[in-house]
């Protein structure tokens, strides 16, 4: 367990280059090329992290200011995905579950049940977080472990099924996303919300004519529709809602605009390294298994640079705060994860055809679900944090997080079913 924790502590920017270098060597890349590919992935991840931190650093205080302006007094605090990941990796079930992931993935590939080779190891915390909540709610070690393995299998299957759709619906990334799937439970869980929202709006006269795809917006508005301009405008809007002074509003808007411009550039560097390894893996696997097709499982960070994902995530911040204020029975105080809401749209976007209007409607229902689920499972979430020795819990009544697996509808079902089974 100590060895695994030491590796995880290195972070994705260090883990991923090592993983890609080793994968490259396994699939007979020249060491120099494998090294270059790994370094490009590492540099890309570092760049993406820097830009995201810039965005989160700018939006975090603004989100806090909006919450304070509304005077929200709620008992369950959103502590963010970083704390949630620590809960997952610190859970007592972690060593057994992670070893099981590798064995399960290999078996599913061997049996031709799935095509995805999940190398997104850092984001195993998403599955582990759900397992930690199940363990906290049941105190049944093996029930929690088996439940986590089951949801891992389901996610791999869904990642296979959705890969062609995702690749097709991101036209600027069609070639880059070839052979890439996204076994990311947090994002996978919200795909049905995108499908249903798109289906309903398509059948409502008038609303079905609203097309806010980034390309359409840019064509109509010209330079004002470009990502850098949208970021600037959204930054001003958020700054005003936060009650900022003019100088702070301008600083925020520039930071948001910079993030929307720089993020695609950083993702592009990451993808260069990814494509080098992917092409070699595809070539070698085709030689070994001429009739098989494989996908490489990656982080949805590859998708959040899309203007539809970023812009809709920013628009959802004030809406999420308002919903927390008006929804009867809600106990969750949106806080740390407000700045990360764009991740919720990474896999919703392709199923809404990247139409930001439809994505925003889906996002409203997603946030409503998160707030109610977070309220209901707050005791399990808080206990999971205690079991993972998260000291910050002591100063809070109860905690949850918004961009994670436990607060999805899938997570809620697994937690409640496990508790029901344990009570029999």
133 vs 218: which has the higher pLDDT: 133
Confidence of residue 187 (pLDDT cuts 50, 70, 90): very high
Per-residue pLDDT averaged across 141-170, rounded? 95
Q: Do 388 and 87 meet the contact criterion of CB atoms below 8 Å apart? A: yes
Residue 280 has pLDDT above 90, yes or no: no
Average pLDDT in the 139-160 region?
96
Backbone angles phi, psi at 193, to 5 degrees: -65, -40
How far CA 424 is from CA of 55, 147, 421, in Å, comes to 47, 16, 5
Q: What is the spatial distance between Cα 258 and Cα 232, in angstroms, rounded to a whole number?
A: 8
Which residue has better confidence, 195 or 64?
A: 195
Q: Which of 100-104, 289-293, 405-409 has the lowest mean pLDDT?
A: 289-293
Range of the domain at 115: 2-423
Asked whether residue 1 carries a pLDDT value surpassing 60, the answer given is no
Mean pLDDT of all residues in 397-423: 93
Mean pLDDT of all residues in 389-414: 85
Q: Point out the least confidently predicted range of 205-219, 223-237, 320-334.
A: 223-237
Q: In Å, how far from its chain's centre is CA 132?
A: 18
Residue 144 and residue 329: Cα distance in Å, rounded? Answer: 28
pLDDT at residue 38 in the model: 87
Rounded CA gap, 122 and 9, in Å? 9
Q: What per-residue confidence (pLDDT) applies to 18?
A: 82
Report whether 91 contacts 135 (CB < 8 A).
Answer: yes
The average pLDDT across 49-60 equals 76
Q: What is the torsion angle, in degrees rounded to the nearest 10, for the CA atoms of residue 320, residue 323, residue 324 and residue 329?
A: -150
This model's pTM is above 0.75: yes
With a pLDDT cut of 70, the percent of the chain lying above it is 94
For the cut 70, the answer to whether the pLDDT of residue 165 exceeds it is: yes
Query: Hey, is 184 helix, strand or coil?
Result: coil
Q: Identify the band that residue 5 occupies on the pLDDT scale cut at 50, 70 and 90.
A: low
The C-alpha atoms of residue 57 and residue 275 are separated, in whole angstroms, by: 31
Are the C-beta atoms of 411 and 189 separated by less than 8 Å? yes
Q: According to the model, what pLDDT value does residue 21 have?
A: 87
* pLDDT at 215 (0 to 100): 81
Range with the poorest average pLDDT among 69-78, 104-113, 327-336, 397-406: 69-78
User: What is the full DSSP assignment across 22-86?
Assistant: HHHHHTT--HHHHHHHHHHHHHHHHHHHHHHHHHHHHHHHHHHHHHHHHT---SEEE-HHHHHHH
Is-contact 34 58, C-beta < 8 A?
no
Report how far Cα 21 is from the mean position of its chain's Cα atoms: 24
Among residues 250, 242, 264, 249, which one has the least CA distance to residue 52?
264
Tell me the pLDDT of the chain averaged across its residues. 86
Task: State the DSSP string of 93-148.
Answer: THHHHHHHHHHHHHHHHHTTS--EEE--GGGGHHHHHHHHHHHHHH--HHHHHHHH
C-alpha 142, offset from chain centre = 27
Total count of domains within the chain = 1
- How far is C-alpha 326 from the geometric centre of its chain's CA atoms? 26
* Of 238 and 391, more confident: 238
Which pLDDT does position 235 carry in this prediction?
A: 84
Residue 116 above 80 pLDDT? Answer: yes
Over 80: is that where the pLDDT of 380 sits?
yes
Task: Return the pLDDT at 225.
Answer: 60
């Amino acid at each position: 367990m100590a060895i695994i924790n030491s590796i995880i502590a290195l972070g994705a920017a260090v883990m991923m280059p090592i993983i890609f270098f080793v994968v490259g060597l396994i699939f007979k890349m020249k060491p120099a090329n494998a090294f270059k590919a790994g370094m490009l992935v590492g540099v890309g991840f570092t760049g993406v992290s820097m830009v995201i931190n810039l965005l989160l650093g700018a939006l975090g205080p603004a989100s806090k200011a909006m919450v304070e302006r509304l005077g929200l007094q709620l008992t369950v605090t959103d502590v963010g995905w970083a704390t949630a990941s620590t809960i997952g990796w610190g859970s007592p079930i972690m060593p057994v579950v992670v070893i099981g992931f590798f064995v399960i993935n290999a078996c599913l590939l061997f049996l031709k049940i799935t095509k995805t080779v999940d190398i997104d190891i850092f984001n195993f915390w998403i599955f582990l977080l759900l397992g930690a909540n199940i363990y906290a709610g049941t105190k049944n070690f093996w029930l929690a472990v088996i439940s986590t393995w089951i949801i891992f299998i389901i996610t791999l299957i869904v990642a296979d099924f959705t890969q062609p759709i995702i690749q097709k619906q991101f036209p600027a990334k069609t070639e880059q996303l070839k052979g890439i799937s996204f076994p990311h439970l947090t994002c996978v869980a919200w795909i049905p919300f995108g499908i249903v929202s798109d289906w309903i709006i398509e059948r409502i006269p008038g609303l079905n004519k609203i097309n806010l795809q980034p390309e359409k917006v840019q064509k109509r508005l010209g330079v004002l529709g470009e990502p850098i301009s949208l970021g600037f405008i959204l930054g001003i809007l958020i700054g005003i809602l936060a009650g900022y002074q003019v100088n702070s509003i301008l600083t925020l808007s520039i930071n948001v605009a910079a993030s929307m411009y720089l993020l695609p550039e950083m993702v592009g560097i990451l993808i260069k390294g990814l494509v080098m390894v992917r092409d070699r893996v595809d070539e070698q696997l085709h030689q070994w298994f001429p009739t098989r097709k494989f996908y490489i499982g990656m982080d949805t960070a590859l998708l959040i640079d899309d203007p539809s994902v970023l812009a809709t995530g920013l628009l959802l911040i004030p809406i999420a705060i308002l919903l927390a204020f008006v929804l009867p029975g809600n106990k969750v105080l949106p806080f740390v994860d407000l700045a990360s809401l764009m991740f919720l749209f990474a896999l919703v976007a392709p199923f809404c055809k990247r139409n930001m209007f439809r994505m925003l409607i889906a996002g409203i229902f997603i946030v409503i679900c998160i707030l109610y689920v977070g309220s209901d499972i707050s005791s399990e979430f808080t206990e999971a944090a205690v079991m993972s020795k998260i000291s910050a819990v002591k100063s809070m009544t109860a905690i949850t997080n918004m961009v994670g697996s436990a607060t999805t509808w899938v997570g809620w079902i697994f937690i409640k079913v496990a508790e029901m089974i344990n009570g029999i």
